[in-house]
């Protein structure tokens, strides 16, 4: 698998998933948002996409378009959730969620965290950029 870092530890993964669960109840929970922003997420790398070797800035975001026209980038808090949602994808890169927000390409591109799980969270472009500020931007 193409990975930038080691996958989340079970404790970090559980913290991210607990934060998602809390945000499903209260989308303005600043502590949960901060926990999520500081979490490492798995960014799927479709099998037909070649990723640059070792280039930290070379992450290509997988963009999916829904039937309603919403364009989104799926990321996941665990390999299990990635496999359930996208069984055809066998590679991923890990990146801190806040770092994705720093270079988010467009306001009309949404981020979907743990798509297909009960705790799915979809964040619009401006919100993704705001996540970067919750951890001091880096």
pTM (2 d.p.) = 0.82
Q: What are phi and psi of 41, to 5 degrees?
A: -125, 160
Long-range pairs, 83-86, Cβ under 8 A, ≥24: 84/116, 84/117, 85/114, 85/115, 85/116, 85/117, 86/44
pLDDT of 95-134, one tens digit each?
999 999 898 999 999 999 999 998 899 999 999 999 888 8
Domain regions of the chain by residue span: 10-133
Where do we find the tokens 């303005």? Answer: 28
The pLDDT tens digits for 47-97 are: 655 544 444 446 789 999 989 999 999 999 999 999 999 999 989 999 999
Secondary structure (DSSP) of 62-123: P-EE-TTS-EEEEEBSSHHHHHHH-TT--EEEEEEHHHHHHT---TTEEEEESTTSTT-EEE
């Amino acid at each position: 698998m193409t990975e930038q870092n080691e996958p989340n530890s079970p404790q970090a993964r559980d913290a991210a998933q607990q934060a998602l669960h809390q945000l499903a109840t209260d989308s303005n929970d600043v502590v949960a948002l901060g926990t999520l922003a500081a979490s490492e997420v798995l960014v799927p790398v479709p099998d037909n996409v070649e990723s640059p070797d070792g280039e930290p800035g070379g992450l290509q975001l997988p963009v999916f378009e829904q039937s309603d026209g919403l364009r989104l980038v799926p990321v996941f808090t665990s390999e299990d959730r990635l496999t359930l949602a996208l069984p055809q994808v066998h590679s991923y890169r890990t990146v801190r969620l806040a770092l994705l927000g720093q270079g988010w390409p467009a306001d009309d591109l949404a981020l979907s965290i743990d798509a297909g799980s009960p705790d799915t969270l979809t964040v619009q472009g401006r919100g993704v950029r705001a996540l970067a500020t919750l951890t001091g931007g880096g």
